[in-house]
Structure 1
Amino acid sequence: MNTPTKRLRLGPLPRQEVTKLTFVCPASLKADLERYAALHAQTYGEVVDVVTLIPYMLDAFMAGDRGFKKKTS
């Protein structure tokens, strides 16, 4: 029996046009991203892969970076 999960910081994903970007990351980060994707799918009932989540995660990170906002405003 599944217990309700708290909402994640990264909510349901909007539909957007995407651009392909390739990057290298440590195996431990890939594993964490895969676990996050699984939890996101469980929370919101829509299966999304890691590649789909990464841009939204980076966007959320940059939006919350006050130093970056200050320098680019």
Structure 2
Amino acid sequence: MVELKLAKLPDRTPVKLAITVTPDLLNALRDYAAIYAQTYGTEEPVADLIPAMLTAFLESDRNFIRARETAQRGQS
């Protein structure tokens, strides 16, 4: 088998997740979307911003990253 530089792509099948948020959080998310639109000149629905926000949050949490790597090493 040929070994390519690009590894096999991970599963990218979208998964729908329903959540319930408080009114205060919904207001904050709407405000974020409005500021995002002012900043980038593109309106995006809150539902489209949330996955990117969660990804950015998880990628910036160093303790989470370390703990996750440790847990994954323990599973292999």
**TM norm. shorter chain > 0.5:** yes
Query: Percent of counterpart pairs with the same letter?
Result: 40
Q: Rg: which structure is higher?
A: 2
Bigger helix share: 2
Q: How many residues align?
A: 58
Q: What is the TM-score of this pair, normalised by structure 2?
A: 0.69
Going from structure 1 to structure 2, the CA distance change for 1:40 and 1:65 (only over 3 Å counts) comes to same
Stretches of structure 2 lacking an aligned partner (at least 5 in a row):
1-11, 70-76
Moved over 4 A (4+): none
* Greater RCO, 1 or 2 (C-alpha within 8 Å, sep 6+): 1
Write the distance in 2 (CA, Å) between the matches of 1:36 and 1:61. 15
TM-score, normalised with respect to structure 1: 0.72
Structure 1, unaligned stretches of length 5 or more? 1-15
Counterpart pick for 2:60 among 42, 45, 64? 64
Between stretches 30-39 and 17-26, larger displacement belongs to 17-26
